[in-house]
Structure 1
């Protein structure tokens, strides 16, 4: 991974910018892995079919799916996608890979359901560099975030998992965000092509 580039925004601000810049360009059938409250669905192009994947959907997500034409809720885990091979044109992971039980398994499933040439777009917080104070803090926080933040493990090396998943091309950028947690929760964004 290249040196992180500096941003002026906090991680949530950068994530909102990423959604505006990236998600509207997706077309066809779009799988939203870890759809959460349905925020990403609001940024997709009107003609895109939104497949909102969430193992335990909230009432807010259900309402978001019901309110958007060409949408469907998939109640499952990312490691067992209820789709056939090549079913989707694009997949979205937005702070989701930190919470899945098996990131390699989830990425293998995403790769399986993407059509040839399909793309995964992602915005994920990742582990701080080994030996850093931020990595130490992430290790101390991990038991609490796993229990109280939907299974989030802040020490995940998601960049390496995406690179080894078997995509034909991975374009990945590291960001150094502003704010107190900017150094404690590094962020990556990019796309991977099947």
Structure 2
């Protein structure tokens, strides 16, 4: 990181000192109750911009359906269920999220998605999916999650563990921009703001490197620019086969 980027980021961190103190004192926990409402509204906007990209990605889900029985799908960091409309009919879904306050919004979206079978909601971080058995699901879905988890490689390995042989890990994530761009600069400068106001989000993660080193049998990954101007414009999407 250049000295200029570091200096600008430091200025932002100084302005955010009250939030840092609030977190240390435990007062930041109230935000965990508010973030589901915020993310529910953001997801409506994001889906309107990314509908075609999501439809294209999740069209591939049926490739991993078992010969007998419905597709068994685990969504890690499900949030409010913004992906449900893209899942195939009859799909049996287990949802996980570390924030229990998402359940109210999740249930609302599940009620609207009567083409799906809702199995259960598990309160758990993506790094610890012990509630899900080894080799027990056909597909794991993870969208806009790896930017905010504490250990992205661990989340990927947990997804790989619960997948059956031949199952697939589907992902859609915003990632680090090219270092020669202004987007890269603003990703680092605004990172402290994103962390506090978007539930731990780090917009400057090179997430594709973790996927490339996860030793999947096949990795279908592509980089693209989302159709909006933001520090989260650079994206990756695709799937990795166990």
Q: Give the TM-score band, short-chain normalised.
A: 0.7 to 0.9
What TM-score, normalized by structure 2, do the two folds share? 0.70
Q: Is the 8 A contact 1:117 1:193 kept in 2?
A: yes
2:141 is matched with which residue? 92
What TM-score, normalized by structure 1, do the two folds share? 0.86
Residue-by-residue CA offset, 1:86-107 (whole Å, 9 max, x unaligned): 1110011111110111001100
1:77 is matched with which residue? 125
- Which of 96, 107, 118 does residue 62 from structure 1 map onto? 107
Q: Secondary structure at the match of 2:203?
A: coil
Distance of 1:92 and 1:150 partners within structure 2:
19
Residue-by-residue CA offset, 1:111-142 (whole Å, 9 max, x unaligned): 11111110011111000122432111100111
Q: Secondary structure at the match of 1:138?
A: helix
Q: Which has the higher contact order (CA 8 A, sep 6+)?
A: 1
Distance of 1:142 and 1:33 partners within structure 2:
23
* 1:21 and 2:56 aligned: yes
The structure where helix makes up a greater share of residues is 2
Distance of 1:124 and 1:187 partners within structure 2:
6
Q: Is the 8 A contact 2:174 2:236 kept in 1?
A: yes
Q: Secondary structure at the match of 2:148?
A: coil
**Which protein is bigger by CA-based radius of gyration?**
2
* 1:112 and 2:161 aligned: yes
Q: Secondary structure at the match of 2:108?
A: helix
Distance of 1:116 and 1:146 partners within structure 2:
36
| Cα offset, 1:85, TM superposition | 0.9
Q: Secondary structure at the match of 1:71?
A: strand
Q: Secondary structure at the match of 2:190?
A: helix
Q: Secondary structure at the match of 1:37?
A: coil
| Cα pair distance change 1:103/1:149, threshold 3 Å | same
Q: Secondary structure at the match of 2:188?
A: helix
Q: Is the 8 A contact 1:18 1:123 kept in 2?
A: no
Distance of 1:15 and 1:74 partners within structure 2:
27
1:193 is matched with which residue? 241
1:160 is matched with which residue? 209
Residue-by-residue CA offset, 1:36-64 (whole Å, 9 max, x unaligned): 11111232112111111111142111333
Q: Is the 8 A contact 1:41 1:50 kept in 2?
A: no
Gaps in structure 2 of 5+ consecutive residues: 1-44, 66-70
Gaps in structure 1 of 5+ consecutive residues: 1-9
